[in-house]
Amino acid sequence: MNTSKITVFSKVFLLAVSALFFASLLFPMWRIELEAPQYPEGLVLQLHANKIGGDVDIINGLNHYIGMKTLHTEDFPEFQIIPYIVGFFGLFALAMVFVNKRKGVVLLFLSFLLFGVLAGVDFYRWNYEYGHNLNPNAAIVVPGMAYQPPLIGYKQLLNFGAYSIPDIGGWLLIAAGILLFIIVAKETRLISKIIRKPKINPVLVLLLSFSFMSCGDFKEEPIKLNKDNCDFCKMSIADGKYAAEIITQKGRIYKFDDIGCMVNYCKENTNTKIGAYFVSNFAQDNVLIPAETAFFLSGGTIQSPMHGGIIAFSSEKEAKEFATKSNAKPMNWAAIIKK
């Protein structure tokens, strides 16, 4: 048996990889979403393999006011070569089905991995130059402000929230990369070699995978008292014992001076997908805790800034002690969020 040849399983996957590469050219590769109060439906900049699409004219108009260069497809030589590179990878994957050489598949995977790294570096450079090289004579100049969007994920830029993620074409390329990794791992027996190490077993690999998945947990952002304003009532947040905060699934953060303000905001913005809720621990000064684990009190002598009348504790014991003093009643989180 010739061990340098690939299996039928890998050939089928290579056909899928080739199809994914070619299909990715039909869709946008990346998207940058912009959200702001004056644009409730949001603005989208889409990067295809060969052009810039989306709300380009509106975004260029906004860029002009803050001194950023306007965006034009012809200014980026990358759009002239990326379609050929992706097409080459598609043909390479298809050729490997017939060439039937394991080394060729490994070379394809490493080449695509290198392309991904270089594309990421180039995209960061592109974002940096456009976000930092501003016209000093622009209509709106904020000293020290840069408008570089995130490479991936969410970033707040003045009153705009910028969210950078792969688009359909990008997800197709990611899927192609994952399939290529599976092929290489199978053909080189990479996974079996790892789990056969003396101190590594499949259970440990599974646990490690869960630990990486947990890295996506939402992290609260400290509230700056007397500097941050409530995103519902617009009042300054002055007392850290009553404040609250939500983080959307896109990573945008909204802060409130009262738990009641947070609840009312969520009622008025039902299209906002919430990733996490945080409330202040009344027993400490300006310390946020997850709302799902908090113990709430309502009514009695509680006087919150906007008369929401709800406070939270991290300890059930502390909540019960304060309830006795204030004649307040316990309330669970599910009832509050539906209030």
Is residue 86 domain-resident? yes
* Confidence category of residue 214, pLDDT binned at 50, 70, 90: very low
The predicted pLDDT at position 200 comes to: 46
- 210 shares a domain with 299: no
153 and 260 share a domain?
no
Note whether 150 and 74 are same-domain residues.
Answer: yes
Q: Is 33 inside a domain boundary?
A: yes
Q: What pLDDT is attached to residue 146?
A: 84
Q: Based on the domain organization, do 278 and 199 belong to the same domain?
A: no
Same domain for 161 and 83, yes or no, is yes
What is the mean pLDDT of the segment spanning 331-338?
A: 86
**pLDDT at residue 171 in the model:** 96
Q: Mean pLDDT: which of 30-44, 192-206, 223-237 is highest?
A: 223-237
Has residue 154 been placed in a domain?
A: yes
Q: What is the pLDDT of residues 130-155, one digit of tens each?
A: 888 888 888 888 888 888 888 888 88
Please tell me whether residues 180 and 276 are part of one structural domain: no
Same domain? 211 vs 250? no
The whole-number pLDDT of residue 170 equals 96
pLDDT over threshold 70, residue 339: no
Residue 234 lies in a domain: no
- In this structure, is residue 3 part of a structural domain? no
Is 230 a member of any domain? no
Cα end-to-end distance, the chain, whole Å:
70
Q: Are residues 200 and 253 in the same domain?
A: no
Residue 235 lies inside a defined structural domain of this protein: no
Give the predicted TM-score (pTM) of the model.
0.65
Q: In whole angstroms, what is the distance from residue 174 CA to residue 24 CA?
A: 10
Domain count within the chain: 2
**217 falls in which pLDDT band (50, 70, 90)?**
low
DSSP secondary structure letters along 265-325: HHHH-TTS-EEEEEEEBTTSSS-EEEGGG-EEEESTT---TTS--EEEES-HHHHHHHHHH
Q: Between 21 and 266, whose confidence is greater?
A: 21
Whether residues 152 and 25 share a domain: the answer is yes
Q: Are 179 and 134 found together in one domain?
A: yes
Residue after which a domain boundary falls, among 163, 198, 216: 216
Same domain for 92 and 40: yes
Instruction: Using the predicted structure, report yes or no on whether residue 88 has a pLDDT greater than 90.
Output: yes
Claim to verify: residue 208 and residue 278 sit in the same structural domain: no
**153-162: pLDDT as tens digits:** 888 887 788 8
Instruction: Express each pLDDT in 8-20 by its tens digit.
Output: 989 999 999 999 9
**Centroid of chain to Cα 3:** 42
pLDDT of 208 reads 46
Instruction: Classify residue 156: in a domain, yes or no.
Output: yes
Backbone dihedral angles phi then psi of residue 307, each to the nearest 5 degrees: 60, 30
Domain assignment of residue 202, given as a range: 8-216
Q: Is the dihedral of CA 198, 199, 200, 204 positive or negative?
A: positive
Higher pLDDT, 109 or 251: 109
pLDDT at 190: 64
Least confident of 34-43, 165-174, 276-285, 316-325: 34-43
- Spatial neighbors of 64 by CB under 8 A, at least 6 apart, are 70, 138, 139
